[in-house]
A and B are shown apart, each in its own frame.
Chain A
Amino acid sequence: EPEVTQTPSHQVTQMGQEVILRCVPISNHLYFYWYRQILGQKVEFLVSFYNNEISEKSEIFDDQFSVERPDGSNFTLKIRSTKLEDSAMYFCASRTGAGVGNEQFFGPGTRLTVL
């Protein structure tokens, strides 16, 4: 069964460093998402991406964040200068369409720890 994959599973970085989190969405999906979940808190929407551009973003997704689909398979989230409060699980998700009933499939997540 196709699935969303994410690498690495755990990333440890120093405050101020740049990190790139990678995702491979399901191959025939067209809409891509990043969410984050700070430990013990709810899942928060960061950004949605369609047709090679951002379609929606939250207030969390500031200038320190960027997304890219550099080739036909990968979808990346870059944090330019990490802060302690960026420590969280980051989940990538994808779906075939934006219509109601189109299931959203989540990857296993990348645990980002900023020291």
Chain B
Amino acid sequence: TQLLEQSPQFLSIQEGENLTVYCNSSSVFSSLQWYRQEPGEGPVLLVTVVTGGEVKKLKRLTFQFGDARKDSSLHITAAQTGDTGLYLCAGATSGTYKYIFGTGTRLKVLA
């Protein structure tokens, strides 16, 4: 069974602080996605990473895919209250049509 563990599970920080969220697995993924989900809504895709060691930036968000394609991280610089939400990673292995979702990190940014 493929599992994606995210840490921390909960994170509460002050506006302006930096943070890193981790997504770890013992499985190798052909691609990994990061989503943000607001309460009562569907997940919204932030980024897809496909190459080991790949780094992608989306404004203040930096995503990294591990060299072995088993883990990923999301770093937010100078967090804002609008970054509050549930962050989900989801991985797909080759030959499968599905994404396996991580356990989620619930981020709260305080003003």
Contact = CB atoms under 8 A, between A and B. Distances in A.
Interface of A: 4, 31, 33, 35, 42-45, 48, 50, 55-56, 58, 91, 93, 98, 100-101, 103-109, 111
A15 B33 CA distance: 35
A44 B99 CA distance: 9
Given A42-B101, A42-B103, A48-B97, A103 B45 contact: yes
Contacts of A100: 30-31, 48, 50, 92, 94
Interface string B25-45: 000001101010000111111
Nearest to A6: B42
Interface in B81-105: 88, 90, 92, 94, 96-104
B41 A108 contact: yes
A45 B42 contact: no
Contact of B102 (A33, A42, A98, A101): A42
12 contacts: A35-B101, A42-B101, A42-B103, A42-B104, A43-B90, A56-B96, A100-B48, A100-B50, A101-B48, A103-B45, A104-B45, A106-B42
Interface string B56-94: 000000000000000000000000000000001010101
B52 to A, nearest CB: 12
A31 B97 contact: yes
Contacts of B97: 31, 33, 48, 50, 55-56, 98
Contacts of A50: 97
A31 B48 CA distance: 17
